[in-house]
A and B are shown apart, each in its own frame.
Chain A
Amino acid sequence: MNVLEVRDLATHFFTRDGVVRAVDGMSFDLAAEETLGIVGESGCGKSVTALSILRLIAPETGRIVGGSVRFEGRELTALSDKEMRAIRGHKISMIFQEPMTSLNPVLTIGTQIAENVVRHWGLPWRAARDRAHEMLALVKLSDPRRRLDEYPHQLSGGMRQRVMIAIALSCDPAVLIADEPTTALDVTIQAQILDLMLELKEKLGAAIIMITHDLGVVAETAQRVIVMYAGRKVEEASAEQLFARPMHPYTRGLMRAIPQLDADAEVAGRRPRLHEIPGIVPALTQPITGCAFAPRCRFATDRCHAERPRLTAPEADHLVACWEAQRVLEAAV
């Protein structure tokens, strides 16, 4: 069963340089208790997709210009602000890259967790504080009783992210959106936080949308993965399929551009060249006709430049938006 269904979502920002088409027709489903990874480089629209689901786009800069977001059968884009507030942090919650800027520096940790529980569950403060204590123990913060009365600046980055997770999960959400939750953390702390998120997901049964630029992080956490480029979905598959048989030239390029940590990369003592994706991402201020990746793609034909590729499924449960998918598949990697 799907908890979340996004269809043709388009979010634009209105800047002095013109209209930025940050999300340009995104569709996907999120099944209950599933972990979906959304991966892509800076500016591909992965974070704006998340913010659009929660309707957190600042109205003075941009807005959702089209499409639909259905959560448990309700159309989120049509809700009033008040109705939306009852969903945020309750049914759908979100954690961000930099926990220090998302936590209130002048409130104690305990107050910030309890606040959410009081608002959404209507519990009295005393009971909400007990819930806060329970949550801090759940995210394995040492000495949770003492932490309740501490302030964010007294905690390390990894501990702050644990607190963010505690707040986000405090009202048993159906969906947790994690936007680069470990990007600001060191690799040993990242491993701890990812491990914790997966463990809690099992325990609490929330679905997770994991947004990241790091293919390693999606590979270790996600069951299904969406690859975004220039505001569009270019590929979607199970994590196993995506890494075993990437189909879109962009996905393939990305995978070959990362230095390999495990492979015996050096041939006869020489360092091999990394695969380069020529050029840079297109400016989103101009409408893109055809495939957004075409200018950087060695498989591109006239049709790719002229006509936007439809999503097709060359194999079961594997979607790709590429006119030349067959040729790409046949080409040696």
Chain B
Amino acid sequence: MSEVPSLEVSGLVKHFPIRSGLLQRQTGTVRAVDGVSFAVRRGETLGLVGESGCGKSTVSRVVLKLIEPTLGKILLGGVDVTRFSPGEMWPHRRHAQIIFQDPYSSLNPRLSASTIVGEPLENFGIATGKQKDERVAQLFQRVGLRPESIRKYPHEFSGGQRQRLGIAKALAVNPKLIVADEPVSALDVSVQAQVLNLLIDLQEEYKLSYLFISHDLAVMRHVSHRIAVMYLGRIVELTDKRTLFSLPLHPYTEALLSAAPLPGPAKRKARRRILQGEVPSPMRPPSGCHFHPRCPYALPACRSIDPPLIEVAPGHWAACLRRPAGGDPAPLTPTH
């Protein structure tokens, strides 16, 4: 653990103002990210899982300073970039790249595939001319694109190939960290498997760190080493994946795991616990623990006390009043 993490954030907050009326006065705040801390170690995949509106995509943008944080600290490879201007940020961008869910809307439709992948090489002064062409050809081969496809344009690729192109582009500058925001969510199962295998192979080959964002628990379990579960802008649980799936401590994690449909009727869960209600608006998050209105185990205190994320067992963090440090990890008894 002496190694510097590829990415470390602490107390990260991002609030978006809501403006309305003629004078565009601020009438509210969306608390998209509300105090989040984690580290992505070298060569590790940290999964960030949660439902729509939990803030996971905002985290992915803020850690790369594609949007500015409201509060908190971001360390990229040990360098505090929180207050860096776009100019100061520039040299650090080559160490941290991003892959999006829909590569079609993130690749310039007017540029050929070779330009898309070659451009970052020129921008960062890594390679030009013939050297660049060689590197592009090498990248195409590595991600499994045919050599002749370098002359094609994004619309000529299938969804899976486009995602490979997005990966080649991210990989071009030899980054240490790749933020992958729902990279396989738009793909069919058979193609999804190809892309996930590629991402895992590349990680092992180049010792990449991934911050992997997904709503799909099965994908998460497959790619991640550790997983952080987010709910309404906060991390409610963080641990290695094996522990998370076998011994979830936070009631929300438990509900999320029990809601996921399993492929195989034999695996159909005996009367699973279905979470009632819906995720409240991040404009008006509930007081205390954000999850208390839907939580079957809530105590009166949960309404007023905002539980901090604490290390309940070694390496296993949870933010729940009913899970004190060193407490019994056995399932909780419902309070109502």
Chain A residues within CB distance 8 Å of chain B:
41-42, 156, 158-159, 186-192, 194-195, 213-217, 219-220, 239-240, 243-244, 253-255, 257-262, 264-266, 271, 273-277, 280
CA distance A195 to B272 in the complex (A): 10
8 nearest interchain CB pairs?
A216-B261, A259-B222, A186-B51, A277-B190, A215-B263, A191-B259, A274-B193, A257-B193
Is B325 on the interface with A (CB-CB < 8 A)?
A: no
CB pairs A–B below 8 angstroms (24 shown) = A187-B217, A187-B256, A187-B260, A188-B256, A188-B274, A191-B259, A192-B274, A192-B276, A213-B188, A216-B260, A216-B262, A219-B261, A219-B267, A220-B261, A239-B265, A240-B266, A243-B263, A253-B190, A257-B189, A259-B222, A261-B262, A271-B200, A276-B190, A280-B160
CA distance A244 to B265 in the complex (A): 9
Q: Could you tell me the distance between the alpha carbons of A225 and B55 in the complex, rounded to whole angstroms?
A: 37
Contact B265 A243 (CB under 8 A): yes
Residues of B258-302 whose CB lies within 8 A of A? 258-268, 272, 274-276, 278-279
Number of A-B contacts (CB under 8 A): 119
- Within 8 Å by CB of A194, from B51, B242, B255, B261, lies B261
Instruction: Give the Cβ gap from A147 to chain B, nearest Cβ, in Å.
Output: 14
In the complex, B61 has a CB within 8 A of chain A: no
Known: A187-B217, A253-B190, A254-B189. A243 touches B259 (CB 8 A): no
User: Which of B194, B242, B263 is A216 in contact with, Cβ under 8 Å?
Assistant: B263
Q: Is B274 in contact with A259, judged by CB distance below 8 angstroms? A: no
Residues of B close to A216: CB separation below 8 A: 260-263
Contact partner of A217 among B217, B261, B272, CB < 8 A?
Answer: B261
CB distance from B73 to the nearest CB of A (A): 30
| Max count, chain A CB within 10 A of own CB: residue among B160, B223, B267, B268 | B267
With A41-B190, A259-B221, A271-B222 known as contacts, the answer to whether A244 contacts B266 (CB < 8 A) is: yes
Distance A158 CA – B265 CA, assembled complex (angstroms): 24
Complex CA distance for A159 and B277, rounded to whole angstroms:
10
Question: Please, which residues of chain A bring their CB within 8 A of the CB of B223?
Answer: 259, 271
C-alpha spacing A194/B272, complex, angstroms: 12
The distance in angstroms between the C-alpha atoms of A297 and B275, with both chains bound, is 41
* A264 contacts across to B, CB distance below 8 A: 242
Q: Check A240–B189 contact: CB distance below 8 A.
A: no
B residues 187-227 touching A (CB-CB < 8 Å): 188-194, 196-197, 200, 215, 217-219, 221-223
- B304 located at the interface, meaning its Cβ lies under 8 Å from any Cβ of chain A in the complex: no
Considering only CB atoms, which chain B residue lies closest to A240 in the complex?
A: B265
Q: Which chain A positions have C-beta within 8 A of B221? A: 259-261, 265
CA gap between A262 and B223 in the complex, in Å: 14
Q: A219-B265, A220-B262 are in contact. List 7 more A-B contacts (CB 8 A).
A: A186-B279, A192-B275, A192-B276, A220-B268, A239-B265, A240-B266, A253-B190
Q: Are A276 and B259 in contact (CB under 8 A)?
A: no
Q: Decide if B158 is an interface residue (CB 8 Å cutoff).
A: yes
**Docked complex Cα distance between A45 and B266 (Å):** 28
Indicate if B123 sits at the interface (CB-CB under 8 A).
no
A188-B259, A214-B261, A266-B242 known; A156 vs B217 contact (CB < 8 Å): no
Which B residues lie within 8 Å of A244 (CB)?
Answer: 266
Residue of B nearest to A271 (CB): B200
The residues of B that contact A262 with a CB separation of less than 8 Å are 262, 267
Q: Which residue of B lies closest to A296 (CB)?
A: B190
Chain A nearest CB from B250 CB (Å) reads: 14
Are A191 and B265 interface neighbours, CB within 8 A? no
B128 interfacial by beta-carbon distance below 8 Å:
no
B1-57: which have CB < 8 Å to A?
Answer: 51-52
